[in-house]
Amino acid sequence: MTEVPQTSPLADPDLPLIQAIGTGDKAALSALYERHGHAILAYLIGQLSGDRQLAEEVLQDVLLAVWQGAGSFRGESKVRTWMLSIARYQALNARRRRKPTPAELGEYIPSDDDGPQRVQEKHDQQATVRAAMRELPEEQKEALELIFYHDLSGPEAADVLGIAPGTVKSRVHRAKNTLRGLLKRQEVD
C-alpha cells in the first residue's frame, strides 16, 4: 500500500494521493477510490436518472480521467471537488449519448427505527420530496443536490458546476422556494 505523507489539518488530505497518482502509483488510485468512489457513484446515479449500471461505467471513465490528469492537477480546489467536476462532465457526456428516464434520488434520507407507522410516514415524506425535486429545473436540482446530498460548500459546488458561487446560492434559494411551493400544493391536493 502507498504510504501517504502527513499533511496539516487545513491541507487537502487527498493531495498526496493525487501527487502519487501523477507519478503512476496505482495503489494511490485505489486508495483515492476507496475514499471517494461511493460518493462519486452516488452523485453519478443521481445525475444519470438512477441508472446504476451506466453510473458505474461512467465512474470508470472518471477514474481514467483522474489517472490521466493527476499529473496536471494544480490544487486550485480540493481533490474531491475536482473529481466531482470530472464526474459531472462525464455524466453530461453520457446523458448526451443516451436519453435517460426521470431521476430517482433513492433512499438517501436516513430513517430512525421509530416503528412501522413512523417508518412508513418517513418513506412517504421522502417519496413526496423526491417527486417534487423531479419537477425542479435541472440547474436548480443539480445545485441543491450538490449542497444538501453531497455536502459541498457553495464555492465547491460552483467549481463543480463551473459557475459563480453567487449563482449557486441563487439557484439553491430558488430551488428551495420552488420546492416549498410544490410541497404545499401537494398538501392541498
Q: Are residues 118 and 36 in the same domain?
A: no
Nearest to residue 160, comparing CAs of 43, 51, 55, 49?
43
Residue 112 in 3-state DSSP?
coil
Over the stretch 113-167, which tens digit does the pLDDT of each residue have? 566 766 667 767 777 777 788 888 889 888 888 888 888 888 988 998 999 999 9
Q: Are residues 87 and 126 in the same domain?
A: no
Count of domains forming the chain:
2
For residues 119 and 111, what is the distance between their CA atoms, to the nearest angstrom? Answer: 7
For residues 186 and 135, what is the distance between their CA atoms, to the nearest angstrom? Answer: 12
pLDDT at 1: 52
Domain membership of residue 92 as a residue range:
1-104
Dihedral of the CA atoms 79, 59, 107, 180 (nearest 10)?
A: 60
Q: Are residues 21 and 85 in the same domain?
A: yes
- Which domain CATH number covers 11? 1.10.1740.10
Q: What is the pTM of this model?
A: 0.64
- Which domain CATH number covers 180? 1.10.10.10
Q: Are residues 126 and 178 in the same domain?
A: yes
Over the stretch 63-84, which tens digit does the pLDDT of each residue have? 999 999 999 998 889 999 999 9
Q: Are residues 31 and 53 in the same domain?
A: yes
Q: Are residues 69 and 92 in the same domain?
A: yes
C-alpha cell read off for 1: 500500500
Element (H, E) at 120: helix 116-134
